Structure 1
């Protein structure tokens, strides 16, 4: 195949397996919890934010990374979908790095917040936003405080999988 023909094929067929739809909805057998604490609390809700969620079902967050935690109440929110409404809880410093997976439970200060529904990269490379389904209240309305802990826990049925220690 000529070089130009190969380039044309690469342009038409995405290299990313998520974009090609070949990654199953839940490819993980076990995932260690990712944990962090709030370093900034926000007081913003945007009814017409229109976040375009990435098509990826997981994202890696290394220890020390900063991530934004966003909530939507839209029932159809999932990877690849545009989310109209968003409430901003604040920014987390990741204290225990790892992989955050769509479907994981997000726990805020020991209380369930909701499932992870996707990721927004509109502010990359500065930070990723982790989008969770829950009630549309920003961080100040929820009483979020600096230092409040957040954990992302992968569950299958009633069993939490926390492989890797």
Structure 2
């Protein structure tokens, strides 16, 4: 029997995540770089599980059409964060750093797996971690937003 991905096959029409714990961590690296032709392939699934102490990359895009299953080119590198607990990240989760809203998760790119996951965040303005004056130790939180 063939394995069917419910996201690719269109079986899941709506986001099934009704409630979940916030996922947080601390920045361990601040990045300063932008690209207009990155070619990130966002995977079809709208969620990814991460484990406590894993390190993952945060990438910002101002492409308003960024969502699971599309390619994202215009990006700015924010940094890497270390997860302080295991949890689930979902497209549309609001991302804050030290309580300041950065944007919402657009999707995930697995180019560098199993080393790290690229978490792509959609924002109105594309800025690097350095331009946002981020620092190692800053607190990153992913919070479910319904609606």
Asked if Structure 1 and Structure 2 have the same fold, meaning a TM-score greater than 0.5 normalized by the shorter chain, the answer is: yes
* Residue of 126, 133, 144 corresponding to 1:143: 133
SS at match of 1:106: strand
CA distance in 2, matches of 1:17, 1:155: 22
The answer as to 2:69 corresponding to 1:61 is: no
Q: TM-score, normalised by structure 1?
A: 0.85
The answer as to 2:114 corresponding to 1:86 is: no
Matches within 5 A, 1:83-162: 83-134=72-123, 135-157=125-147
Report if aligned partners of 2:34, 2:76 keep a CA contact under 8 Å in 1: yes
CA distance in 2, matches of 1:46, 1:109: 26
CA distance in 1, matches of 2:97, 2:14: 25
Report if aligned partners of 1:25, 1:57 keep a CA contact under 8 Å in 2: no
Matches within 5 A, 1:71-82: 71-82=60-71
RMSD in angstroms over aligned alpha carbons?
1.2
Cα displacement string for residues 99-141 of structure 1 (whole angstroms, at most 9, x for unaligned residues): 0000110011110011111001000010001111112111111
The answer as to 2:8 corresponding to 1:19 is: yes
Q: TM-score, normalised by structure 2?
A: 0.95
How many residue pairs end up in the alignment? Answer: 146
**Which has a greater percent of helix?**
1
Cα displacement string for residues 34-60 of structure 1 (whole angstroms, at most 9, x for unaligned residues): 001111111111111011101110000
CA distance in 1, matches of 2:59, 2:50: 16
Q: Which residue of 1 aligns with 2:37?
A: 48
